[in-house]
Structure 1
Amino acid sequence: MVVDFWGKIKKRRLSSLYLLYGTESFLLTETYELLVRTVLTEEEREFNVSVYDCEDTPVQTALEDAETFPFLGEKRVILIKNPYFFTAEKEKEVEHDLKKLESYIMSPSPFSIVVFVGPYEKLDERKKITKLMKEHAEVFVASPLAEKELREWIVERAGQSGVMVEEHAIDTLLKLAGTNLMTLANELDKLILFVGPGGMIQQETVEKLVSRTLEQNVFVLVEKVTKRQIDDALQVFYDLLENNEEPLKILSLLAGQFRLLYQVKWLAAKGYGQQQIASILNVHPFRIKLAMGQAALFSEEELTTVMRQIAEADYKMKSGTMDRQLVMELLLMRWNEGITNNIQ
């Protein structure tokens, strides 16, 4: 959906009215910026872009601006942020002339592109103004991307710079950087800069250059444990210590990851699929997919035992009865002795 929507903009199949809303703020920003880049040259942007916020400015003020002729250009872009009158939010101190807005929606300025942008999960479909807007505007809903859309987004973003991406490289990028679009964009831009126009981002390049978040490092640590690669798991732990991460914080995230594995395994045993589990746990489906792969290597009994051992390690760290780094090292080595054979 994202790539299709952007494709229409790039082909200059433009509307006079846009309504962009949703919880994925990075997508909202990218879509608006793409509109501006497509409609206006760099020189035109200085004089023909206006930004208004409905929290402190009446919408009619923005619409009056939209009816003003462009300066040294053919189009104007008017960004109207936080249009809460499309939602069920209560009226605020600013008085918005919604009759004026209705009239504008029915007959928008031919030389302006008006873009309403709001970080709202949903709109109030019962309102006349909302129905009218959705009927006449191009609507884009910025929701968290599914795995397929994430992959398309990565390929599209790299393609804008003339760079291709191997399928395995995408797998590794998602594993190491996670599904947060801001983080992914930063890491992808770094990879694009490294390979240059006409280049190909390969798995080895991703492994070499991508910075792992603390959460992703903990995921890798768990993966090493499941494969009984404890030396590698210890190395991940030591790398985290070098980055000034606290053993207690690492243990807490480790507990969260194993808790997720237990929940995923339990729900899968009840017959729930990946998408259903993601919805129940409010976790991105791609993360659930990875967790299902890790959980398959444990029995429920083993995961229960692991959680108990983590709780014991947590108590030792917090009570000060043992050095925190040593507690973590002993825990990892203990798992090495019985991770796949009913942990004792």
Structure 2
Amino acid sequence: MTIYFYWGEDDFAIDKAVAILRDRILDPLWTSFNYTGFLPDQSDAAIAALNQVMTPPFGAGGRLVWLINTTICQQCPENMLAELTRTLPVIPDNSYLLLTSRNKPDERLKSTKLIKKYATEFREFPLIPPWKTELLIQAVNQAAQIVGVKLTAKSAEVLAEAVGNDTRLLYNEIEKLRLYAEGSHQPVDVDTVTLLVRNTTQNSLQLAAAIRTGDTVKALTVLGDLVNAAEPELRIIATLVGQFRTWLWVKLMLESGERNPQAIAQAAEVGNPKRIYFLQQEVQSLALRQLISCLPLLLELEFIFKKGSGDVSVLQTKVIELCLVCRRS
């Protein structure tokens, strides 16, 4: 099969996968003849792409047809479905159809089922949730290995904290570290990472920590830094929801008498049970009712912004309310 479908919110990771696929399929001397991209605003882009992929490649190498940000796995008219049904099974072996989308395919649609049936690769590229520290550190180590940079365990942790789940920024910063450490056989240490990496010194997890302690001034300062750094509001809110949900589960398990770190980690969806000790310390000063009271405020905030009626002042107001809830004895 010569069909590939990539989707997800990690645009940079998708771009890298597309570049690898393009380099593998196309002959550099014949790229201009055999490589075509169709944007979503082009009329009948999907039909044109299917017609193009049936055309044999010129010269050496294969043909690659890229249907960019397609919506055929979210909505697919009958005429489009008929064209997919007719074309997908008979695409020539040296022609490749690539479809990409930011949105998750609707598994109920016939078009999605059809593409999955014939696809060589049907792959998601999700953003790692900012509160899943272990996965962020793992992504840092993987990127460092790909680029060819040695990191200490602590420098990988500091780098993960600095760049969060921004894959593009991660690779940019690791490339900077590679150039700096060129010729050295020693791992890049924490001091070097702190010196060179564009550190988003205030991140959404630090905002959650400030709210947890009821420190309104610090929380608003961190929020201001995040907004000035153009951090999307919905991403900030998603991090807060995830972090408070984790704290709530840890507190619930402790209140129920559970002391097994593995059991608490499983309930709270924490990948590394060793983190439970630190999470226990973090929720020690909070009552269960305080954490329960925070979640409706956060979900209301998320609803407001998803409706498109939120702004910075709304976010600031909710942060103050959350700090007041956490400050009460």
Tell me whether the two structures share a fold, i.e. TM-score over 0.5.
Answer: yes
Q: Does 1:293 align with 2:299?
A: no
Counterpart in 2 of 1:107? 90
Q: CA 1:40–1:183 in structure 2 vs 1: closer, same or farther (change >3 Å)?
A: same
Counterpart in 2 of 1:196? 182
Separation of aligned partners in 1, 2:242 and 2:207: 15
Aligned partners of 1:51 and 1:79 also within 8 Å: yes
Aligned partners of 2:204 and 2:226 also within 8 Å: no
Counterpart in 1 of 2:64? 77
5+ residue gaps, structure 2: 229-235, 254-262, 291-312, 314-326
What is the deviation of 1:275? 6.8
Separation of aligned partners in 2, 1:153 and 1:259: 22
Separation of aligned partners in 1, 2:242 and 2:143: 31
Q: CA 1:69–1:156 in structure 2 vs 1: closer, same or farther (change >3 Å)?
A: farther
5+ residue gaps, structure 1: 1-14, 227-233, 247-253, 279-284, 305-317, 319-341
What is the deviation of 1:167? 2.6
Q: CA 1:61–1:90 in structure 2 vs 1: closer, same or farther (change >3 Å)?
A: closer
Aligned residue identity for 1:75: G
Aligned partners of 2:149 and 2:177 also within 8 Å: no
Q: Does 1:132 align with 2:114?
A: yes
What is the deviation of 1:19? 0.8
Counterpart in 2 of 1:18? 4
Q: Does 1:265 align with 2:235?
A: no
Q: CA 1:190–1:221 in structure 2 vs 1: closer, same or farther (change >3 Å)?
A: farther
Separation of aligned partners in 2, 1:141 and 1:218: 25
SS in 1 for 2:93: coil
What is the deviation of 1:173? 1.0
What is the deviation of 1:205? 2.1
Counterpart in 1 of 2:149? 163
Q: How many residue pairs get matched? A: 274
What is the deviation of 1:184? 2.1
Separation of aligned partners in 2, 1:173 and 1:42: 36
Aligned residue identity for 2:113: K
Aligned partners of 1:264 and 1:291 also within 8 Å: no
Separation of aligned partners in 1, 2:6 and 2:173: 25
SS in 1 for 2:202: helix
What is the deviation of 1:84? 1.7
Aligned partners of 2:10 and 2:125 also within 8 Å: yes
TM-score (norm 1): 0.60
Q: CA 1:64–1:176 in structure 2 vs 1: closer, same or farther (change >3 Å)?
A: same
CA-based RMSD of the aligned residues comes to 4.8
Aligned partners of 1:163 and 1:198 also within 8 Å: no
Q: CA 1:103–1:147 in structure 2 vs 1: closer, same or farther (change >3 Å)?
A: farther
Aligned partners of 1:48 and 1:70 also within 8 Å: yes
Aligned residue identity for 2:281: A
Aligned residue identity for 1:120: N
Aligned partners of 1:166 and 1:202 also within 8 Å: yes
SS in 1 for 2:198: coil
Larger Rg, first or second structure (1 or 2): 1
Counterpart in 2 of 1:29? 15
SS in 2 for 1:160: helix
Choose 159-168 or 202-211, whichever is displaced more.
Answer: 159-168
Aligned residue identity for 1:268: V
**Equivalence map 1:16-95=2 (5 Å):** 16-55=2-41, 56-87=43-74, 89=75
